[in-house]
Amino acid sequence: MNKKQKLTEERILIDTIKKSSISNREGCVKCWRGVTYEHFITMSAVCWKVANMGFKIFTEVEFNSCGRADIVAISGNVGYIIEILHTESEARFSAKKDFYPKEFTIIPVKTKNFNIDEFCL
């Protein structure tokens, strides 16, 4: 796949995201008051690893179809939604998945006993 094809395929995935969620934010990990340390550290570690695998990463992404994901990783026609689970219940996580675009693979990551060396896409 050449660079132009890759960008065209990425555009299809990026078009599912609200423009305000991605403007000048590629590669940035958002931090805000109230986020737990465990959630932020796990999110940062996952972003670091995924970015070094060659993916474009975005955090706290809002979709045009509704819903918000902790991390979106995109490379060509491959897209992942990565949800960091710390205080969130399995039921709440399952309910959120219905709002995510179907073009993405959803990966839950639990902060408890998280090991960056064992994380893979």
**CB count, 10 Å around CB of 65?**
13
3-7, 41-45, 77-81, 114-118, range with the lowest pLDDT: 3-7
Res 39: pLDDT: 94
CB atoms near residue 99 (< 10 Å): 12
CATH number of 3-116: 3.40.1350
User: What integer pLDDT is reported at residue 72 of this predicted model?
Assistant: 95
Q: Show the tokens assigned to 94.
A: 């399952």
**Residues 66-83 pLDDT 10s:** 888 999 999 999 999 999
* Residues with Cβ within 8 Å of residue 87, at least 6 apart in sequence: 36, 39
Tell me the whole-structure pTM to 2 decimals.
0.90
Res. 24 pLDDT band, cuts 50 70 90: low
